[in-house]
Structure 1
């Protein structure tokens, strides 16, 4: 299976496992080792993955880092693990810092099995940065983060490419956090900035003005975000209703499938990625080889057994607003807008249910 498929399977398993992981070792076995495996490294081959890696550091003897990932006999990635639920922002990282300094690794990962923080030495050579350049949360995976993590995979590993974009990623992450904080509770400096820009006459920013303007800035910020979201929805609604049930006419599914024989059909990487995620999700109930796709000019149809009468879902990725269509037992189609390809995970239960219903018919 590909990285996308393995990660999809892992993400689907997390909610069922998380309450049963009481120790660090349980977290490693259930979540972190499958993550390393998803990247294509053989967790049972000590030439690729060394658990409990030991290196003497100055006067400190026998210290261990949880995993060292090797390539051509050199360490390329260090991984320090914590138990599920541990706040990584409050975690002591001195050991990881020390190992980073004495090895040739340029990538270090701190994880609790759900959250993954990725570090390098962007600020000072051979000294691990205090801030991660990338963060991934498998309970709420962002597609762009998954794409960057994929670059660490064994078959795609390109250190220079990773480091070339790591600096931008680090500051993008920080800016996102700042904007999130200001959106919720704007600080004095943020409020002062808008007050000064809104009052070219040079009025004083007094305590009373600050209190009044904090409320104004908060309201304006929320309205701005709301309007942007509404604009995006209006654009989407200009093409299709956001969420509607489409009741196909008899044999409509079969007739529409004929469209795939026309010229001009382009299967995009996004569609293939969505297909791989769907296949990984339903592989819990059927063999993944039975899940196939057929592309048309309008959508990619994903079918069980390559049978037009067994549609699992449709991916409408050819417009600015993406949609996934799911089906009920009567083959009524419900089209649902999604913001990212990873939103497909949110509909995993529906996808497995419809596949199981087809199995019950056979």
Structure 2
């Protein structure tokens, strides 16, 4: 169920990325992006007793107020959904959803622009929607932990008690994580003093505090990068054998900071490789798609074979390039990327690369039988 749900969401993300520039209204956003999402959750969008569009919800003296969608199960509302145009910020329009929430009798509300889905509950005060979501799903950044949470909202997996049991944990873990990430980017005076006072006995003057803030930022960054890099090497089965002659010619500049790791797989490289993997899974099993990181590029290979490159990500410099091999493995073609979403523009070329390898393999097998 989990893998099937993730695959469908990945396909929806490809659809969103390909169509969004042609979607000019909120209504079109609902039809093209949000309704398919509801359908992926298993609800019958053509059954007006299960998925009710433009649900009338009178609020005090205001009559005829409408919620974009109400999802019912056993004739009880379990989810209300308010939609915005995909260009709008999904975090900036929860006042309308907040008004609808307390009269809908649903325990959960969703605010979405078709790209980001914010899930709300009433953890702080009964029947009053919280100001902040307890769970956010981004189609462009799908995570296994998020897929497991979303499973509890599906038609077959809906579990009110299970969601409520974990919602508070999710809410405060998310809040703590947000604060932690702020500290990673810009350590606060409080954190720096807490750490430095454990080993530095001299008075912490303003100038010293400024220096220690920079030391703390670099120390935290190096520690996190080394930890992530170590785990990614194992998770992605990165091969660190001697580089090929081609790789030796493409040596990256040496980092002047001796404390930084020599090989760091970045989040952008991971996200880019996952986009390529999602595209290629249309024609080849995921198990046959592997990754290797080098100092010059992040490689995507077929069957973990250096002679079968599917693509390479050149993200080590200010400009980012996707290298394609649809014309043959010795004729790499670089394409400038303005954003990671641009990778979807080269779907045909990526699929053509797989097709070329498959045709060559069939020829080799035929020749071997002759």
TM-score normalised per structure 1: 0.69
Q: Which runs of 5+ in 2 are unaligned?
A: 245-274, 292-298, 313-342, 363-370
Contact 1:81 1:110 in 2 (8 A): yes
| Separation in 1, partners of 2:37, 2:235 | 36
Which structure is higher in RCO with an 8 Å CA cutoff and minimum separation 6?
1
Q: Name the SS for the 1:37 alignment partner.
A: helix
- 2:209 is the alignment partner of 1:210: yes
| Residue equivalent to 2:239 | 241
1:37/1:195 Cα in 2 relative to 1: closer, same or farther (>3 Å)?
same
Q: Say which of 9, 15, 18 aligns to 2:17.
A: 15
Cα deviation per residue 1:300-352 (whole Å; 9 max; x = unaligned)?
85xxxxxxxxxxx2579xxxxxx98525999837799xxxxxxxxx8994763
What is the number of equivalent residue pairs in this alignment? Answer: 292
Residue-by-residue CA offset, 1:55-92 (whole Å, 9 max, x unaligned): 11111211111111011111100111111121223x23
- Given that 1:245 and 1:334 are in contact with CA atoms closer than 8 Å, whether structure 2 keeps it comes out as no
Question: Which residue of structure 1 aligns with residue 147 of structure 2?
Answer: 146
Counterpart for residue 261 of structure 1 = none
What does residue 258 of structure 1 align with? none
Number of the residue aligned with 1:228: 227
1:80/1:236 CA distance change after superposition, 3 Å:
closer
| Residues 319-334 of structure 1: pairs in structure 2 closer than 5 A | 326=302, 332=308
- Would you say the 8 A contact 1:51–1:68 is kept in 2? yes
Cα distance in 1 for partners of 2:235, 2:12 equals 32
Contact 1:109/1:118 (8 A) holds in 2? yes
Residues in 2 aligned to 1:244 and 1:116: alpha-carbon distance in whole angstroms: 44
Residue in 1 aligned with 2:93? 92
Please give the per-residue CA displacement for 1:192-239, whole angstroms capped at 9, x wherever unaligned. Answer: 22233333x4x54442232122111111111211221343356579x7
**Aligned pair in 2 of structure 1 residues 32, 210: CA closer, same or farther (>3 Å)?**
same
**Alpha-carbon distance change, 244 to 278 in structure 1, aligned in 2, over 3 angstroms:** farther
Match of 1:113 in 2: 114
**Matched position secondary structure for 2:71:** strand
Given that residues 308 and 357 in structure 2 are in contact (C-alpha distance below 8 angstroms), is that contact kept between their aligned partners in structure 1?
A: no
2:80–2:110 CA contact under 8 A, matched in 1: yes
| Aligned with 2:76 (options 70, 74, 77) | 74
